[in-house]
Structure 1
Amino acid sequence: MYTSIRPGQVWLDTNGKRIQAHGGSVLYLDGTYYWYGENKEKTTGENGIWHWGVRCYASKDLYNWEDLGLIIPQDLEDETSPLHPSNMMDRPHIIYNQFTKKYVCWLKIMEKNGIQSETVLTADQFLGPYTIEKTNLRPLNMSAGDFDLAVAPDGKAYYYFERVHSETICADLTADYTDVTGYYSTHFPHPAPPYVREATAHFYRNGKHYLVTSGTTGYFPNPSEVAIADTWHGPYTVLGNPHPGDDSCTSYHSQISSVLKVEGKKDLYIAIADRWCPEDMDIPYAFYREMFEFIFQGKADKIPELIQKYQIVPPAPDEHRNTSIADYVWLPFRFDGDMAYLDWKDEWKIEDYE
């Protein structure tokens, strides 16, 4: 049994197997935490399998997780289905609609034509079964990338997503949460990757809305940003990188997918992040620092010289990376005024927070 959280170390479920809940979120229901995400157990990079459904785990203490199996299984029969293992399904987010009494799940699908769309499913119970309501949804007629869903206390819901590849959008969801209304706001305009913000994670604290985002560099990690606003639609003010002392400029070799406010704790917010490619930890920090200096100076054409300088073996394309061995980096936020920081900790305990 675990008695602490150890960021970046292999995390096993109560059966002794790697936890497979990537690009994930945690939902608290009736005294139990449910951690769900992409099941990458078969994604070795050698077999054309991108996912193996959406897997879910249950815990009372946030340390020890029981495998509940697939709440959204893969579709092995229909190669055109967004749930077929060869299709690039990412970042499931599930919210509850207090009016329809439905759980609503959105999935990002990176289609083979380069367009990114959404698939929307609903269920009467959190653990399913889920029914597909919409596929090939292009919200606001936009190619929609990484995203987060958030629900206000009055039941109104919002959808934060990367408009591929130009800006971040905050869009109001319809009353049933299965589409957008057409009302939206735009944020963080950037010309192209790696500057465009993705992996948006929203949380609310002390009257402020927070958006935590990463740059756009595939499975190569990069510096994160924290932004705050007084309202759901902003305007958002960028406060900076939440990872102090991160000499590698890689957000501790991780990418945040969501933020969890821990029940019963006064001010404990946990950044839930993936370390997608642990083998990249062998790359020298100096390479990352110089690479991002070139990128942010508009000198990306010099990166091949940098690769040669440090004798880096260029990684395979994302679809050929072995993410079945991806790890997790869970860290608690430390607040200094409005700014939210994530200090590196080899080990930490929930009990150490009020």
Structure 2
Amino acid sequence: MDTNGNPIQAHGFSVIFDEKTHTYYWYGEDKGRTTQGSNVWTYGVRCYSSKDFYNWEDRGHLIMPDTVNVLSPIHYSQGLDRPHIIHNPKTGKYVCWIKNLSDETQFFTILQSDHFMGPYTIVNPGFRPNGYEAGDFDLYVDEQTGKGYVWFERPHWEMICCELNDDFTGVTDKLSHHYTGKIPPATREAPTHFVHSGKHYIFSSGTSGYYPNESLVSVFTDYHGKYKDLGNPHPSDTSHTSFYSQITDVIKIPGKKNLYVAVADRWMPQIVGTDEPRQEWQRISDRFRGHQPRAVSNDPVVIMDRSQQVRNGWDVTYNARYVWLPVTFENGKPIIEWKDEWKLEDYE
């Protein structure tokens, strides 16, 4: 709950820390109106702030949905997912990438602002990096070089890492392919990148929609080199569902010696403790047998009218919850164990 006692609506989210104001900002998809029978997929990008990591104040929308133009990529009926915001040290701009899924393709919408809290303006709609369709993704700015990177799932086949252009509103032609040839539910998506002791790590989930599945963690030193798989970071999770959640970000807590926190969406709290995820994995495996990725295309993206599509059945994401757990390291491997309760004060 936020400080007003309302459910926090910031899913597919990230948490950042502003060193100047000593403030945490948690932003993500507003699913508050994604109710049964509605035509709302995501009602913009909502933000919360906190000074202590415990109490979160509703700061309203960073990005308001378009409520008029049904063909706008940020109209509330469009498939708007997993916003990520990075700061460009060269331009001073804040750049937000959003994943869009249409009935025919998946792509990015890129927005820009002079301030983290907005307002944001669309600068690159309908963007497919180097012609590839784009699914779940993560962004990162290298602190040493100032270069930006994006990792995204090429549905549903592989993960691609591209170097961003100078203003972070597009990509260069420098890219690499990872986890190639995997099909759902084994395809890697929801990449979550972080750095620890000079090494780069990526958590990723399998592909089973909002149904949870087993995570994988990989390590690398070269963005376009070999990613070494380290296995499941949730070794004690006998359900193989990442504790019924999907990791979306990793935060290093300032002022702590070595405290990293993996934050995750629990998209479907109603199925916790059931065997429904396993049943869905089998259905997905059957459905995607023989799957091949779509061809690379530089044709303009055509945004479809989704305003007549309504949420029903499984889509109760307005009721989604969150899982926040500390990360420990065993012989260089990140490990996440379940804790019913924990405090920042438990760590040095």
Cα distance in 2 between the residues matched to 1:144 and 1:90:
11
Cα distance in 2 between the residues matched to 1:209 and 1:273:
19
**Who is 1:87 aligned against?**
78
Tell whether 2:13 aligns with 1:24: yes
Say which SS state the counterpart of residue 252 (structure 1) adopts. Answer: coil
What's the offset of the Cα at 1:233? 2.3
Q: C-alpha offsets along residues 320-341 of structure 1, whole Å, 9 cap, x if unaligned?
A: 5111110000111010011111
- The runs of 5 or more residues in structure 1 that have no matched partner are 1-11, 302-315
Say which SS state the counterpart of residue 236 (structure 2) adopts. Answer: coil
Q: C-alpha offsets along residues 188-229 of structure 1, whole Å, 9 cap, x if unaligned?
A: 113421111000000011121101000000011000000001
RMSD over equivalenced CA pairs, Å: 2.0
- Report the CA distance shift for 1:318/1:234 in structure 2 as closer, same or farther (over 3 A): farther
Q: Percent identity?
A: 49
TM-score scaled by length of structure 2: 0.89
**Who is 1:349 aligned against?**
343
Cα distance in 1 between the residues matched to 2:311 and 2:184:
16
AA aligned opposite 2:9: Q
* Matched-pair contact (CA < 8 Å) for 2:212–2:277: no
Q: C-alpha offsets along residues 5-63 of structure 1, whole Å, 9 cap, x if unaligned?
A: xxxxxxx0001000111000011112101000000001113212111100000001111
Q: C-alpha offsets along residues 259-316 of structure 1, whole Å, 9 cap, x if unaligned?
A: 11111212111111000011111524xx656776x689x7789xxxxxxxxxxxxxx9
**Who is 1:7 aligned against?**
none
TM-score scaled by length of structure 1: 0.87
**Who is 2:99 aligned against?**
108
Moved over 6 A (4+): 298-301, 316-319
Query: Residues 126-205 of structure 1 correspond to what in structure 2 (within 5 A)?
Result: 126-153=116-143, 154-205=145-196
* Matched-pair contact (CA < 8 Å) for 1:249–1:288: no
* Matched-pair contact (CA < 8 Å) for 1:21–1:36: yes
- Report the CA distance shift for 1:332/1:295 in structure 2 as closer, same or farther (over 3 A): farther
Query: Residues 1-354 of structure 1 correspond to what in structure 2 (within 5 A)?
Result: 12-29=1-18, 30=20, 31-113=22-104, 115-153=105-143, 154-284=145-275, 288=277, 320-354=314-348
Q: C-alpha offsets along residues 160-191 of structure 1, whole Å, 9 cap, x if unaligned?
A: 11011111111000010000011001111134
Cα distance in 2 between the residues matched to 1:290 and 1:348:
32
Say which SS state the counterpart of residue 324 (structure 1) adopts. Answer: helix
* Matched-pair contact (CA < 8 Å) for 1:247–1:289: no
Aligned residues: 324
- Report the CA distance shift for 1:317/1:57 in structure 2 as closer, same or farther (over 3 A): closer
**Who is 2:299 aligned against?**
none
AA aligned opposite 1:87: Q
- The runs of 5 or more residues in structure 2 that have no matched partner are 289-309
Say which SS state the counterpart of residue 145 (structure 1) adopts. Answer: coil
Higher helix share: 1
Cα distance in 2 between the residues matched to 1:126 and 1:87:
23
AA aligned opposite 2:146: G
AA aligned opposite 1:22: H
Cα distance in 1 between the residues matched to 2:43 and 2:313:
14
* Matched-pair contact (CA < 8 Å) for 1:53–1:85: yes
* Matched-pair contact (CA < 8 Å) for 2:211–2:280: no
Say which SS state the counterpart of residue 144 (structure 1) adopts. Answer: coil
Say which SS state the counterpart of residue 184 (structure 1) adopts. Answer: strand
Say which SS state the counterpart of residue 122 (structure 2) adopts. Answer: strand
**Who is 2:301 aligned against?**
none
What's the offset of the Cα at 1:234? 2.9
* Matched-pair contact (CA < 8 Å) for 1:44–1:320: no
Cα distance in 2 between the residues matched to 1:218 and 1:60:
33
What's the offset of the Cα at 1:232? 2.2
What's the offset of the Cα at 1:317? 8.5
AA aligned opposite 1:228: V
Say which SS state the counterpart of residue 15 (structure 1) adopts. Answer: coil
Cα distance in 2 between the residues matched to 1:317 and 1:245:
35
